[in-house]
Chains A and B, each alone.
Chain A
Amino acid sequence: MKKVIPILLLAATFAACQKEPDLNELSSELIVYTNYDKSANFGKYTTYAIPDSILLLDDKAKPSYFAADDPRTTAIIQAINSEMKTRGYVRTNNAEADLGLQVSYVKDTNTIISYASTNPYWWYGYDYYWPGSYWNPYWGGWGPSYAYPITYTYTIGSLIVEIVALEDANATTKKIPVLWTAYMAGIQSSNQFNINKTVSGIYQAFEQSPYILSSVER
């Protein structure tokens, strides 16, 4: 055992000799990750609804929002509306919409999110995260369902945009299918919310998701 200790110490010393990457080389652009339900037919939907406010994810007991008149909300919602319009979708109210877009901003928490068929929970500890009742007052207790497994650590300053299929909500299972998830990170610079970067990230998320297209535009 005494002979092994110097070898382990030598190995640890060598391992500590790695030259760490210079993070200053990384650009200030956002990281944009997207995933979607491969079985979804985006062409069959024509209308969508989107809230006027953005949900803030933090460690408070009650949900809080970027208000509708907040310039951050305005910029984000305008960018999303612009992309949805370009792809042939028409904005309407919750009751008539085929699709719903829910936008969340991770304000001051690091949250591990996991959803998979073998581990089916979502926003554990965030029961108020876009409940089914937001989209329909009769959908109390309904929740989202994902066709793709997701497990991420969402860091502070991340924006999450999701498209849910309100038209395909299942009364039996009480599930609302989630068709698309976009995750953008790196929004905060020096603890300041960077609107321009956020809007660029939204455009990038749609650009790398050409399948989001109404039959009107096909």
Chain B
Amino acid sequence: MKRRLSIIAAIVVLSGTICTLTASAQLYKPMYFNIDWQFNAIVGNDYADTPTGWGMNFEGGYYVNSKLAVGLYASFHTANKHIGEELLQLNESSHLYTDQIHSVFQIPFGALLKYRFVEDTMFEPYVTAKIGTMFSRTSSTTQVWEFYEEKWGFNVQPEVGVTIYPSAAKRYGIHIAAYYNYSTNQSRILTYDINGINNVGFHLGFSF
């Protein structure tokens, strides 16, 4: 029993030593996480093109070398827009007179590739390419009915940004980024067609 405990203790000590040595050899922090507030506007389609800050962004990655990281991302965002009373011709024989609130709720998520230009300064500018899928829920709410469609599509999001580290230890930083986001989601609500969703926006949050 004593021998077994000795072996376990030796393994623990050895593992700790190896980890310490590895950390000493690696001058950059291997992992990063961003949690951001997201301000977003749908462009190219006026269904719900009201810019809103009802969204968040989450991402995390691992640096495979000092400049290049791979990781995962996920975000969500809602855009709501009131449409005043109008007469909609639903088909050849039916009409609907109503006002509505248009909504587009988006959840893109997938994998990312991040490249930072410098790693040993207070400001770390970078570019990121995100590729994944997106769930969208497009709806029209009236006083009586809600018309909606839930769809999936391919998602791509190029992003440029900067992480600002106030301290040399770089444990915590401020994250600012601008992005363009496109997904192939298609919806038809009442008389409105959405063929792909284009977004522009920015992230403001914390990095650690």
Contact present for B142 and A26 (CB under 8 Å) = yes
CB neighbours (8 Å) of B105 from chain A are 18-19
Contact present for B143 and A26 (CB under 8 Å) = yes
Contact present for B144 and A31 (CB under 8 Å) = yes
Q: Does A94 contact B (CB under 8 A)?
A: no
CB neighbours (8 Å) of B100 from chain A are 26
Contact present for A19 and B78 (CB under 8 Å) = yes
CB neighbours (8 Å) of A10 from chain B are 74
CB neighbours (8 Å) of B141 from chain A are 21, 23, 26
CB distance from B95 to the nearest CB of A (A): 5
Q: Does B5 contact A (CB under 8 A)?
A: no
Report the separation of the CA atoms of residues A38 and B89 in the bound assembly, to the nearest whole angstrom: 14
CB neighbours (8 Å) of B101 from chain A are 21-23, 25-26
CB neighbours (8 Å) of B95 from chain A are 33-35, 208-209
Chain A residue at minimum C-beta to C-beta distance from B74: A14
CB neighbours (8 Å) of B96 from chain A are 31-33
Q: Give 1 or 0 for each of B142-153: 1 = CB within 8 Å of chain A CB.
A: 111100000000
Contact present for A37 and B93 (CB under 8 Å) = yes
How many positions in chain A have a CB within 8 Å of any CB in the partner chain? 31
Question: Which of B12-20, B79-87, B112-120, B179-187 is near enough to bind chain A?
Answer: B79-87
Q: Give 1 or 0 for each of A1-40: 1 = CB within 8 Å of chain B CB.
A: 0000000001100110111011101110101111111100
**B54 contacts which of A14, A19, A36 (Cβ < 8 Å)?**
A19
Q: Does A130 contact B (CB under 8 A)?
A: no
CB neighbours (8 Å) of A185 from chain B are 143-144
Contact present for B85 and A186 (CB under 8 Å) = no
Q: Give 1 or 0 for each of B131-142: 1 = CB within 8 Å of chain A CB.
A: 000000100011
Report the separation of the CA atoms of residues A15 and B80 in the bound assembly, to the nearest whole angstrom: 16
Contact present for A186 and B74 (CB under 8 Å) = no
Report the separation of the CA atoms of residues A31 and B52 in the bound assembly, to the nearest whole angstrom: 28
Q: Does B24 contact A (CB under 8 A)?
A: no
Q: Does B107 contact A (CB under 8 A)?
A: yes
CB distance from A26 to the nearest CB of B (A): 5
Within 8 A of B (CB), among A69-121: none
**B92 contacts which of A32, A34, A38, A153 (Cβ < 8 Å)?**
A38
Q: Does A66 contact B (CB under 8 A)?
A: no
CB neighbours (8 Å) of B52 from chain A are 19
CB neighbours (8 Å) of B87 from chain A are 208
Q: Give 1 or 0 for each of B164-204: 1 = CB within 8 Å of chain A CB.
A: 00000000000000000000000000000000000000000
Report the separation of the CA atoms of residues A40 and B92 in the bound assembly, to the nearest whole angstrom: 13
Contact present for B74 and A29 (CB under 8 Å) = no
Q: Does A126 contact B (CB under 8 A)?
A: no
Q: Does B56 contact A (CB under 8 A)?
A: yes
CB neighbours (8 Å) of A139 from chain B are none
Q: Does B59 contact A (CB under 8 A)?
A: no
CB distance from A62 to the nearest CB of B (A): 28
12 further interface pairs, Cβ-Cβ under 8 Å (given A21-B101, A36-B94, A209-B95): A14-B74, A18-B76, A18-B105, A19-B54, A19-B78, A31-B144, A32-B98, A33-B96, A34-B95, A38-B92, A204-B97, A208-B97
What are 24 A-B contacts defined by CB distance under 8 Å?
Answer: A14-B107, A17-B56, A17-B78, A18-B76, A19-B78, A21-B80, A22-B80, A26-B100, A26-B101, A31-B96, A31-B143, A32-B96, A32-B98, A33-B97, A34-B94, A36-B94, A37-B93, A38-B93, A148-B93, A158-B144, A185-B143, A185-B144, A208-B95, A208-B97
Q: Give the top 10 A-B pairs by smallest Cβ distance, nearest first.
A: A19-B78, A21-B101, A35-B94, A19-B54, A32-B97, A185-B144, A31-B98, A18-B105, A25-B82, A208-B95
